[in-house]
Amino acid sequence: MDFDAIVIGSGMSGGMAAKELTERGLKVLVLERGRNIERGKKEDQTDWMQPWDLPNGGNVPEDELAADYPVQGQCYALSSATKHLFVKDSEHPYKTPEGKPFSWIRGYHLGGRSIMWGRQTYRLSQMDFEANARDGIGSDWPIRYDDIAPWYSHVENFIGVSGSREGLPQLPDGDFLPPFALNDGELAFKAAVESRFPGRKVIPGRAANLSEARPHHQELGRAPCKVRSLCERGCMFGAYHSSLNSSLPAAERTGNLTVITDAIVHSIVYDPASGKATGVQVVDAKTKAGSTYKAKVIFCCASTIGTAQILLNSASEAMPRGLANGSDMVGRNLMDHLYQMLTVATFDNLPDTYYFGRRPTGFYIPRYRNLNGNDEPFLRGYGFQGGFSRKGGASAALAQAGIGEELKARARELGPWTLFLAGFGEVLPNPENRVTLDKSETDQWGIPLVNISCAFGENERKMTETVQADGRAMAEAAGGTVTASISGGSPPGLGIHEMGTACMGKDPGKSVLNKWNQTHEVPNLFITDGAAMASSGCQNPSLTYMALSARAADTAASMLSEGVL
């Protein structure tokens, strides 16, 4: 069977592309390399587990962790209740140069990492889309904020994003559901930070969780968030956005969707006569049998590194360097966010109150550095995610020596307000940070392994210092005592915001994609995952991938109907 469109990958961007294409009447085939999983099926989604149901109290067996999850185990979300949602590193190897680690955190199954994501949802701003042009770095984005703004609204409205309207130019407001309000610790922190540091704001974290389910959410079987904060295990209520909860069901109800799982796209087939891609070659993950699927349009949404792998592996006589890689930019400019820049502080000057429920987000401090030009020793900026909580229980019991009733009494006591502050910094595009195909080794499906060579540079090092100094200053200004300040240890990739390997740009000689996410060289090939990003901003990027996917799908559908493709 031939399709109008093939979407490679069913994760955050592929799910959205499939929804938008099917809703425009296109017959769409989604090819997903991982297995099928279902919302609400107890083996696939473990949000039903009470703490005492968790195998080994939530801990992955030590030998298994070391053998199968040495990289994935670095991700905070890996536990005995979620390990089936992460790849086994032992089965899905990749290479990095000696002394240059890169943590590639992945989930191969229907829905990709949209199942486990942290749901923090922020727009990029005009400043971000202008950054490369202003600084003369990387590829100038071929779009500006106004081009994407309506698509941000479109996606936000569909997925449901809780948040507050703040009127900040560096973090544009969206079409929000009610925010999850700040608790008393956070309100006091907000007051202290905003009065002591003009220009800084502490706002409720914007999250793709339904604080309220509107009729169009309910139509897809989605219910309001139950405030459990078990989201990375899946949600039987469909209360957070994932491909399983929203985009794929929306695509499915059009009657235009076909999904094939366990279908690993090996390469995209290019026809030099027409100058177009004609289809894709697939290896069955279980039987390893090969097959070919054809379509008029192809959307590559296999995630930043997966997409680079497919393009490079699609080299042909006509395009020896890889498909759509005349610019030699495929695989280059790999970025992530600076991550694991942590400040922890305790407070004894805050109201003796508590909160009820486990809100699926915390607070956010939008970027405040270099807003009006460059007046720091580094380019670009950073934001913070954080939250205040009051601990007790096991951690209080273990904080000092003592056994018996004394230990139990300590555990029962509500601990002091504790601040957790985590910086996320922008990383500059650097063509030397790149993904290539290994020349000697293939995986068990005959696909060359990727080689990932990526390191942070001087700009990132300078930024990290300021992030940590700012974290401490804000905690102390609010009356806190810093108990931990940790930075610098995390390898690129662990921010799980990898992007940039097929950047958008105005110049076909220096970029892979045009302003519609269409490859400069192969007009019916669109790339709408993180690979498309020309710069990284410091905001969590998935909303932008989805907005680009929806926008490109709209364009592709129009081009098809106009006979342009």
Partner 1 sequence: MLLAGAGAALSACDAIGLADEDSPFRYSAEDMALITALADRIVPKGDSVGALDAGVPAAFEGLMANWASEETRAQMAGVLAALGALGGGFAALPAGEQSRLLADYDAAALAPAPQGEEELFSPPSAKDADYQRFKQIIVLLFYVSEPALTHELAYTHMPGRWDPSIPVTPETRPEGGAGSF
Q: Which does 310 bind (CB under 5 to 8 A by kind): ligand FAD, partner 1, none?
A: ligand FAD
Site for ligand FAD in 395-424 (CB under 6 A): none
Site for ligand FAD in 257-286 (CB under 6 A): 264-265
Give the number of other CB atoms < 10 A from CB of residue 241: 32
> Binding of partner 1 at residue 25 (CB under 8 A)?
no
DSSP H or E run through 565: none
**CA dist., res. 25 & res. 522, Å (int):** 23
Strands 3-8 and 290-300: parallel
> Binding of ligand FAD at residue 12 (CB under 6 A)?
yes
- The first and second tokens of residue 275, run together, are 């100058």
Stretch that binds partner 1, among 180-188, 463-471, 473-481, 543-551 (CB under 8 A): 180-188
The correct pick among 338, 496, 504, 550 for binding ligand FAD (CB under 6 A) is 496
CB of 360 to ligand FAD, least distance (A): 10
**CA dist., res. 307 & res. 263, Å (int):** 15
Stretch that binds ligand FAD, among 27-35, 92-100, 211-219, 449-457 (CB under 6 A): 27-35
The correct pick among 73, 142, 306, 381 for binding ligand FAD (CB under 6 A) is 306
The closest residue (CB) to ligand FAD is 11
Q: What is the DSSP string of 334-351?
A: -B--EEEEEEEEEESSS-
Burial of 445 (0-12, 13-18, 19+ CB in 10 A): middle
> Binding of partner 1 at residue 352 (CB under 8 A)?
yes
Q: Which does 318 bind (CB under 5 to 8 A by kind): ligand FAD, partner 1, none?
A: none
Q: x/- contact string, 497-526, with ligand FAD (CB under 6 A)?
A: x-----------------------------
**CA dist., res. 544 & res. 361, Å (int):** 19
> Binding of partner 1 at residue 184 (CB under 8 A)?
yes
Closest CA to 370 of 359, 385, 383, 381: 381
Spatial contact of 204 and 179, defined as CB atoms under 8 Å apart? yes
Q: What are the phi and psi torsion angles at 187 (to 5°)? A: -65, -40
H, E, C per residue of 526-549: EECCHHHCCCCCCCCCHHHHHHHH
554 residue type, one letter: D
Bridge partner residues of 527 (DSSP): 300
CA-angle at 302, arms to 14 and 459, nearest 5°? 110
The correct pick among 118, 360, 381, 523 for binding ligand FAD (CB under 6 A) is 118
CB of 518 to partner 1, least distance (A): 43
> Based on CB atoms, which residue is closest to partner 1, 50 or 440?
50
> Based on CB atoms, which residue is closest to ligand FAD, 112 or 163?
112
> Based on CB atoms, which residue is closest to ligand FAD, 264 or 295?
264
Residues near ligand FAD (CB under 6 A), total: 39
> Binding of partner 1 at residue 397 (CB under 8 A)?
yes
The correct pick among 182, 202, 350, 467 for binding partner 1 (CB under 8 A) is 182
Stretch that binds partner 1, among 14-22, 293-301, 353-361, 518-526 (CB under 8 A): 353-361
The correct pick among 297, 344, 427, 499 for binding partner 1 (CB under 8 A) is 344
> Binding of ligand FAD at residue 30 (CB under 6 A)?
no
CB of 364 to ligand FAD, least distance (A): 11
Using DSSP's 3-state secondary structure scheme, residue 244 falls into: helix
Q: Which does 51 bind (CB under 5 to 8 A by kind): ligand FAD, partner 1, none?
A: partner 1
C-alpha distances in Å from residue 329, one per residue of 48, 113, 134, 490: 45, 25, 21, 26
272 residue type, one letter: P
**CA dist., res. 519 & res. 506, Å (int):** 11
Site for ligand FAD in 346-385 (CB under 6 A): none
The correct pick among 53, 91, 271, 458 for binding partner 1 (CB under 8 A) is 53
Residues near partner 1 (CB under 8 A), total: 64
The correct pick among 88, 92, 226, 462 for binding partner 1 (CB under 8 A) is 226
> Binding of partner 1 at residue 540 (CB under 8 A)?
no
Using DSSP's 3-state secondary structure scheme, residue 226 falls into: coil
Q: What is the DSSP string of 411-431?
A: HHS---EEEEEEEEE-----T
> Binding of ligand FAD at residue 387 (CB under 6 A)?
no
Closest CA to 307 of 298, 295, 294: 298
299 residue type, one letter: F
CA-angle at 500, arms to 498 and 503, nearest 5°? 160
> Binding of ligand FAD at residue 540 (CB under 6 A)?
yes
Closest CA to 75 of 261, 323, 339, 291: 339
**CA dist., res. 502 & res. 527, Å (int):** 8
Bridge partner residues of 384 (DSSP): 365, 423
The correct pick among 92, 95, 228, 472 for binding partner 1 (CB under 8 A) is 228
CA atoms within 13 A on the CB side of 74: 19
Q: Which does 8 bind (CB under 5 to 8 A by kind): partner 1, ligand FAD, none?
A: ligand FAD
The correct pick among 275, 290, 402, 457 for binding partner 1 (CB under 8 A) is 402
Residue ranges binding partner 1 (CB under 8 A): 40, 42, 48-63, 66, 79, 180-184, 226-228, 236, 342, 344, 352-359, 390-405, 407-408, 411-415, 484, 486
Binding site for ligand FAD (CB under 6 A): 8-14, 31-34, 75, 77, 105, 108, 112-114, 116-120, 232, 264-265, 301-303, 306, 310, 496-497, 529-530, 540-542, 545
